[in-house]
Structure 1
Amino acid sequence: MPAYAAAHLRSVQMGEEIVEYLRRIDDTLPPFEGRFLSHGKTPEVTEGEWPGHLVLIEFPDIERARGWYHSPAYQAILPLRTKNSDGSAILLEGVGPDYRAADFLKALGLG
């Protein structure tokens, strides 16, 4: 099951540390088969407000997503981002290709 690392970066102070973070993050992904799905794009807001940007990285499964986030290579550069940005980050397990929204009702005992 695919999994994702997502960061909602509401603001980023561009400077030497963020530049260093961006130069180094790519090398942290291959050992965990991670790849960027979205990065640095301005979202098209269709409902509500969305200040900032969304970064989305895909991994083959949640174990590799966790492994990447907690890896020594990523933890070494993480402070470069967190000290220079305001945002939230999550790891999220995806759903399979046959998943339907009504499946959630079954999980709740309502379907």
Structure 2
Amino acid sequence: MQLVLCAVAKMNLATILNRHKTMTRPPKKNNSLNNYAKYSSIAFQMIAIVAIGSFVGVKIDDHFGNENNLWTIILSLCSTILAVIFVIRRIIADSKGNN
């Protein structure tokens, strides 16, 4: 008899604690404007990274007098790869934060 009462008491305590946890969580806001602002800022940051890398490459090529624009090509490619990695990391971090 005591074993049954103990099991019922534990079950009731567990349900009460679960209800308390769900009641104390703040409601999730599904605001599409916030998502739009977040992802458009990521796009502007990606554009800025690529533009800065390309600009530095052009300036280095002008300084050294390279006719093949080797530094522009290298730094443009590296900054594009860096920007893509940055975007992927931000999206992964945002998806983990939403769960």
TM-score, normalisation: structure 1? 0.25
The answer to which structure has the higher helix fraction is 2
Q: Which has the larger radius of gyration?
A: 2
**Higher relative contact order (CA closer than 8 Å, sequence separation 6+):** 1
